[in-house]
Amino acid sequence: MTAKRSFSSQHAAFTVLLLGALTWLGMPQAHAAGEVKAVATFSILGDLVRQVGGERVDLTVLVGVGGDSHVFQPSPRQARDVGQAQVLFSNGLGYESWVQRLVQAANFKGRHVVASQGVEPLKANSTDAHGHGHAKAAVDPHAWQNVGNVKRYVRNIADGLCAVDAPACTEYRRNEQAYQAQLDQLDAEIRTAWEAVPSAQRKVLTSHDAFAYYAQAYKVRFLAAQGISTSAEATAQGVARLTRQIKAEQIRALFVENISNPRLIEQIGREAGVKPAGALFSDSLTQPDGPAPDYVALMRQNTRALVTAIQGVGR
């Protein structure tokens, strides 16, 4: 699909969304007394809001478990939820390209908290397998892959909840402090896990370029079959170049992602003679009975999978 056609289809979709939202917004708005009506854009961010907000927050998550925020199209019902919310939490850094249109369509009048505010953004990688560089230095939005950045997210979330629910601010700050301690422990665990892997072996191929912040924080090199958005399509030339690089650098740890079609990684693996090692969780949590039902579990699971795969190859 060309960029022009894509823009036209998105514009049409949001026109329908606006009409539906206006209908919904005419209905009564009600929620339990004492609760804060909140919306988070995707499941990982939703978990962070729950950690801080606890039972005082009535939370709606727009892009649910297994969903892909890069290509998400909100429904009229979701526009109603946004329109009735007191506070909206988004990632920012260009991750939710649709969020401003949604805010306008929903006539949202509450507080919009950009969770990544204050995080130092990374530029997107200059080249990848979809065959072109990012000449305008697009920003990588996947900042939550560095636990240190999530500490900033959590602070911003607590600030936002205190702003809309001042009587409960002490509770939110208490929850924030407890969760910050969990994040400190998580960060230390990840660093300890990587100490067992020689620097020269810390090389991984993933489906799309979602792990640059993890790479920077924990000194791991990631190659990606797609760019920072899953909507970018890999070219034959880009795949061939990546396959040659995998062979030349003897990269043996290949992973699909829980939000991506595995066929591209499987194709590259066949051509490079490397079998994919499993799945990483990049942009979405899993169901409660899955391996990554919350942010801390996601980071532990990814680290465990990465280290195990690389150590298995190195033996």
Written as six digits, the tokens of 100 are 């401003």
The 10s digit of each residue's pLDDT in 142-157 is 999 999 999 999 999 9
Q: In this predicted model, what pLDDT tens digit does every residue of 233-269 receive, in sequence order?
A: 667 777 788 788 888 888 878 888 765 667 778 888 8
Lowest mean pLDDT among 151-160, 201-210, 257-266, 296-305: 257-266
Q: Compute the average pLDDT of residues 185-207.
A: 95
Residue 226's SS3 state is strand
Cβ–Cβ under 8 Å, residues 295 and 246 = no
The 8-class DSSP code of residue 234 comes to: P
Catalogue all structural domains in the chain, each as residue range(s) with its CATH number. 3-187 (3.40.50.1980), 192-314 (3.40.50.1980)
Q: What percent of the chain has pLDDT over 90?
A: 62
Q: Of 267, 262, 260, 264, which is closest to residue 230 (Cα–Cα)?
A: 260
Per-residue pLDDT band for 135 (boundaries 50, 70, 90) equals very low
- The whole-angstrom separation of Cα 113 and Cα 41 is 11
CB 85 within 8 A of CB 160: no
Question: What pLDDT is recorded for position 227?
Answer: 57
Residue 125 confidence (pLDDT): 67
Q: According to the 3-state scheme, what is the secondary structure of 124-176?
A: CCCCCCCCCCCCCCCEECCHHHCHHHHHHHHHHHHHHHHHHCHHHHHHHHHHH
Average pLDDT along the chain:
85
pLDDT exceeds 70 at position 288: yes
Of 103-112, 122-131, 189-198, least confident by mean pLDDT is 122-131
Which of 99, 111, 120, 212 has the alpha carbon at shortest distance from 159? 111
